[in-house]
Structure 1
């Protein structure tokens, strides 16, 4: 997983299993736009293990400099909300990924930096066509011809 060293998840001699001893509920998580029954609740991060939080934030900042799914997530959130909130959100994603890796025993499968583009390709095309039409252009979409390298 990008941004994570051996020491980050209990690689030290006295800290074996520091993050996998309990469920992710024991660690700080990101709460964004909490609404229950129309009532706005707090969006603050809950208190948790401060050392785990520090490691996750450090790993998130490191992952933000990579060309991966987590790096792209960090860049997208930091553009809108700032680097600290982005680091907390990516740290939460890392924690959830790590939890599922420990729970299922499966390795991490990277989604890729272009995940956000490919998952919403149709919506992105429609939005861009509407923008160009608002500017007075006529848009005809044609798929690119396949090019083969020989």
Structure 2
């Protein structure tokens, strides 16, 4: 028995309802992270347990993301990030009727790599109706 995904138009809407994403707090042009709302206690508890378990796995996206956030922001923020990742994945699995797809521990590197960036930029230009030809840079003589 899962949740009725029809209630939630987007994955972000579900995360907000569940109290899993941080609020926004800005003043005088300065943006600060806010506290998450209370949300569903049982869901937060289940997601926290799942996040701790996911952090202990080997060679997975969730474990790599946990380690990355923990190094920068600490354990609690890392657990919060993984809870959010799990809930977003759940929404897509149920809403879109897709299977879970493991992204791999190097997903962030692949996503931010120059090849991926080039692909994204070419796609954006083509979406604007331009024909794009990409050539490698010629070395200076």
TM-score (norm 1): 0.62
Q: Distance in 2 between matches of 1:50 and 1:92?
A: 15
Spell out the pairing of 1:68-107 with structure 2 (5 A cutoff).
68-107=60-99
- Partner of 2:78, secondary structure, is helix
Could you say which residue in structure 1 is the equivalent of 2:35?
44
Q: What whole-Å deviation, never above 9, does each CA across 1:5-61 have from its counterpart, x for those lacking one?
A: xxxxxxxxxxx22xx235313201222765488254551111100010010011011
Moved over 4 A (4+): 32-37
Query: How much does 1:121 deviate?
Result: 3.2
- TM-aligned CA distance change 1:73 to 1:32, over 3 Å: farther
- Partner of 1:92, secondary structure, is helix
Determine if contact 2:20/2:44 at 8 Å carries over to the other structure.
Answer: no
Indicate the RMSD between aligned Cα atoms, in angstroms.
Answer: 2.4
- TM-aligned CA distance change 1:36 to 1:119, over 3 Å: farther
TM-score (norm 2): 0.65
Spell out the pairing of 1:12-51 with structure 2 (5 A cutoff).
16-17=1-2, 20-21=3-4, 22-23=7-8, 24=14, 25-31=16-22, 34-35=25-26, 38-40=29-31, 43-51=34-42
Determine if contact 2:21/2:84 at 8 Å carries over to the other structure.
Answer: yes
Could you say which residue in structure 1 is the equivalent of 2:100?
108
Could you say which residue in structure 1 is the equivalent of 2:46?
55
Structure 1: where are the runs of 5+ without partners? Answer: 1-15, 124-150
Query: How much does 1:88 deviate?
Result: 0.9
Q: Distance in 2 between matches of 1:112 and 1:46?
A: 31
Could you say which residue in structure 1 is the equivalent of 2:130?
none
Query: How much does 1:69 deviate?
Result: 0.6
